Chain A
Amino acid sequence: MNLSELQKKLIAAARLNPPDDRVPYAFEKGITALIAARAGADRWVFWARGLWRAAASCVAVAVVLGALSLFTPATPDSSKDLSQDFENTLLASADLPDSSSMP
């Protein structure tokens, strides 16, 4: 069988039958609606992405501060550290004797 001839015949058949160009009803309206819906969804994606970035930054800062507090050498006067000062300040008012009960 002559395959080249068969190939030519079939290609000619394809050329003689161009595809249909009909478009489904209101296709363009559907595309516009889809674009509008995507724009709304995009805003939420943008917001969520921003939140994740902020969370990642917070974690990074926490890790750096944690590492700093772990690896910095302790001061000679370790009894007077920040936590002690904080506690003293916070409880200063409680430690004061009540002036009304004084003689």
Chain B
Amino acid sequence: MEERSEAELIAAVLKGDATSFEPLVAKYSPRVFATARRYARRESEIEDICQEVWLKAFDKLKTFRGEAPFEHWLMRMAVRTCYDFLRGHQRNRISSFSEISEPEEDWLERFVAEPGSVAEDADAAKLLIDRVLEKLSPEARMVIQLLEIEDRSVKEIAEITGWSVPLVKVRAFRARGEMKKILARITQDKYL
């Protein structure tokens, strides 16, 4: 069977053929899931976020004008849904770092002893950064994720989040400060 183009599928969905939405879901779900996994840890939460993204995409499909690729439009929706999720799950943010695992502690100790010797690709480093990101405020986490980890420009972040460029800059400045404070708290708890 000949594969239909994205534009044809979208047009069919808008005419009322909901089954034409399925190939779009199948094609872009890996990217949506990867985005959701940047902000949520539990698989059930990740699946809920992705489900919400696709239902929103279906409901708002008529607002897609086709000027930018569908993927960009969808990813913007995915990031905004993740941001809403972060705002709704802030309760466990402020807690102590006593739960840091042994490998994380070892990694930090090695960093304290000799900063240049520790590897960034260690599992412990990944666990530690995940823990730090979880302690950030939703705005700070969003900015650190998009700006520092995904290496996006301020303009891109403004487009994705709907914030103004100056606001992104202000939030980026505050986010770096917030992250430093969290790191200071970890090191103060453990090494001072």
**A and B: real partners?**
yes
Q: Which residue of B lies closest to A30 (CB)?
A: B51
Tell me whether A12 and B183 are in contact in the complex, defined as CB-CB below 8 angstroms, given that A20-B34, A23-B29, A32-B21 are known contacts.
no
In the bound complex, do residue B149 and residue A14 qualify as a contact, i.e. CB atoms below 8 Å apart? yes
In the bound complex, do residue A35 and residue B21 qualify as a contact, i.e. CB atoms below 8 Å apart? yes
Q: Is A68 an interface residue (CB 8 A)?
A: no
In the bound complex, do residue A11 and residue B148 qualify as a contact, i.e. CB atoms below 8 Å apart? yes
Closest approach, in angstroms, between the C-beta of B115 and any C-beta of chain A?
A: 5
A31 and B130 alpha carbons, distance in the complex (Å): 29
Tell me whether A13 and B29 are in contact in the complex, defined as CB-CB below 8 angstroms, given that A2-B115, A19-B34, A21-B34 are known contacts.
no
A17 and B148 alpha carbons, distance in the complex (Å): 13
Tell me whether A7 and B120 are in contact in the complex, defined as CB-CB below 8 angstroms, given that A17-B126, A20-B37, A35-B55 are known contacts.
no
Q: How many A-B residue pairs have CB under 8 A?
A: 106
Q: Which residues of A contact B158 (CB under 8 A)?
A: none
Q: Which of A1, A21, A29 contacts B22 (CB 8 A)?
A: A29
Q: Which residue of B lies closest to A15 (CB)?
A: B149
Q: Is B97 an interface residue (CB 8 A)?
A: no
Interface residues of B in 86-138 (CB under 8 A from A): 111-112, 115, 118, 120-122, 125-126, 128-130, 132-133
In the bound complex, do residue A11 and residue B149 qualify as a contact, i.e. CB atoms below 8 Å apart? yes
In the bound complex, do residue A28 and residue B25 qualify as a contact, i.e. CB atoms below 8 Å apart? yes
Closest approach, in angstroms, between the C-beta of A22 and any C-beta of chain B?
A: 7
A interface bracket (residues with beta carbon within 8 Å of B): 20 to 34
Q: Is A49 an interface residue (CB 8 A)?
A: no
Q: Which residues of B contact A74 (CB under 8 A)?
A: none
Interface residues of B (CB under 8 A from A): 18-19, 21-23, 25-26, 29-31, 33-35, 37-38, 47, 50-51, 54-55, 58, 111-112, 115, 118, 120-122, 125-126, 128-130, 132-133, 144, 148-149, 151, 176, 179-180, 183-184, 187, 191
